[in-house]
């Protein structure tokens, strides 16, 4: 399904949740013939995401609404900037206001936080990636917002990438007592390569696990909750013996330590907080 079709589906569900066709307050207070204009204004600075979603909110309520985006996704804005204008039925503008602003606030929060991580690593060859820590049913929109902020997407779903995580290894006994069962793990890697052409990523929690897993040549190794010192050691070992394998840092990464993590030499970092705990951006809609 394309992004536009996803937007349509998600917005329809959100409008249904808000009972937009039964907005008794607006129906009684505002004549259906009354026309006007609304302006969406930023109440703080940030990086925009979700403008097409906001447009879809109003257009699905009333196809005759004229929505003019004054900023594009990925654009920076400051407090007081006009983001979009909406002209036409005032009933439509008032009914769609909250749903549209909710989407803009959430998605711009994601893009704004992503942009902060990207700016912290400016000049360093590294990719800032999201994770699957997203709001259920809003993943495609949040991942779009990550890209608007200059980040990159990790796998979109369980079917779009292979990541053997620590719980897989422990649950099925591939690792016991901190030791990798080489025969069983080797068999697993062979099975995955026969069943799929997807890249294989393996999560490790120590330098010892890292050096063992390297021998099976996964495409990517996730270094989970490694100190910066151990990240550097892993990078040096990889560069010397397995230069084609990509390294991903994950776990405990924030705006205070991202530059140090990036300077360790890993290829990319995955950061859950950019989608699971961004601060929303405040927007308002004013009737002119």
pLDDT tens column, 272-282: 999 999 999 99
Based on the fold, state whether residues 128 and 265 are members of the same structural domain: yes
Q: What is the CATH number of the domain that holds 47?
A: 3.90.1170.20
Q: How many structural domains comprise the chain?
A: 2
Based on the fold, state whether residues 12 and 98 are members of the same structural domain: yes
Domain limits at 266? 119-276
Based on the fold, state whether residues 49 and 104 are members of the same structural domain: yes
Based on the fold, state whether residues 124 and 10 are members of the same structural domain: no
Based on the fold, state whether residues 123 and 254 are members of the same structural domain: yes
- State which H helix or E strand residue 101 sits in: helix 90-120
Task: State the pLDDT at residue 21.
Answer: 87
Q: What is the CATH number of the domain that holds 125?
A: 3.20.20.70
pLDDT tens column, 214-271: 999 999 999 999 999 999 999 999 999 999 999 999 999 999 999 999 999 999 999 9
| Whole-number Å distance between alpha carbons of 51 and 59 | 12
Based on the fold, state whether residues 130 and 271 are members of the same structural domain: yes
| Whole-number Å distance between alpha carbons of 275 and 145 | 9
Based on the fold, state whether residues 91 and 195 are members of the same structural domain: no
Based on the fold, state whether residues 42 and 154 are members of the same structural domain: no
| Whole-number Å distance between alpha carbons of 275 and 115 | 12
Residue with tokens 């099975």: 191
Based on the fold, state whether residues 190 and 238 are members of the same structural domain: yes
Based on the fold, state whether residues 179 and 101 are members of the same structural domain: no
Q: What is the pTM of this model?
A: 0.95
Ranges of residues in the chain with a pLDDT under 70 are 1
Based on the fold, state whether residues 166 and 236 are members of the same structural domain: yes
Task: State the pLDDT at residue 176.
Answer: 81
Helix 90-120 to helix 139-148 angle (10° resolution) is: 60
Which residues are designated catalytic? 98, 133, 165, 203, 224
pLDDT tens column, 166-182: 999 989 888 887 788 99
Based on the fold, state whether residues 210 and 80 are members of the same structural domain: no
């Amino acid at each position: 399904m394309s992004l536009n079709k996803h937007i349509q589906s998600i917005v329809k569900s959100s409008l249904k949740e808000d009972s937009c066709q039964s907005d008794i307050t607006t129906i009684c207070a505002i004549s259906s013939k009354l026309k006007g204009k609304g302006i969406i204004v930023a109440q703080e600075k940030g990086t925009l995401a979700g403008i097409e979603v906001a447009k879809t909110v109003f257009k699905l309520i009333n196809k005759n609404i004229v929505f003019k985006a004054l900023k594009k996704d990925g654009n920076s804005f400051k407090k007081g900037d006009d983001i979009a204008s909406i002209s036409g039925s005032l009933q439509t503008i008032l009914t769609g206001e909250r749903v549209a602003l909710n989407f803009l606030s959430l998605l711009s929060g994601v893009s704004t936080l992503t942009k902060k991580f990207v700016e912290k690593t400016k000049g360093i060859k590294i990719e800032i990636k999201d994770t699957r820590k997203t709001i259920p049913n809003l993943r495609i929109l949040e991942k779009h917002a990550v890209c608007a902020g200059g980040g990159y997407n990790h796998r979109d779903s369980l079917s779009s990438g292979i990541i053997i995580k620590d719980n897989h290894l422990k649950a099925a006994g591939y690792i016991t007592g901190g030791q990798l069962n080489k025969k069983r793990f080797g068999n697993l890697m062979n099975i995955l390569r026969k069943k799929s052409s997807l890249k294989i990523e393996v999560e490790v929690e120590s330098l010892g696990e890292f050096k063992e897993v390297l021998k099976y040549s996964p495409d990517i190794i996730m270094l989970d909750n490694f100190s910066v010192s151990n990240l550097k050691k892993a990078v040096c070992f990889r560069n010397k013996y397995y230069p084609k394998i990509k390294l991903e840092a994950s776990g405990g990464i924030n705006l205070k330590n991202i530059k140090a993590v990036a300077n360790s030499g890993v290829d990319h970092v995955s950061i859950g907080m950019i989608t699971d705990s961004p601060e929303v951006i405040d927007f308002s809609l004013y009737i002119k």
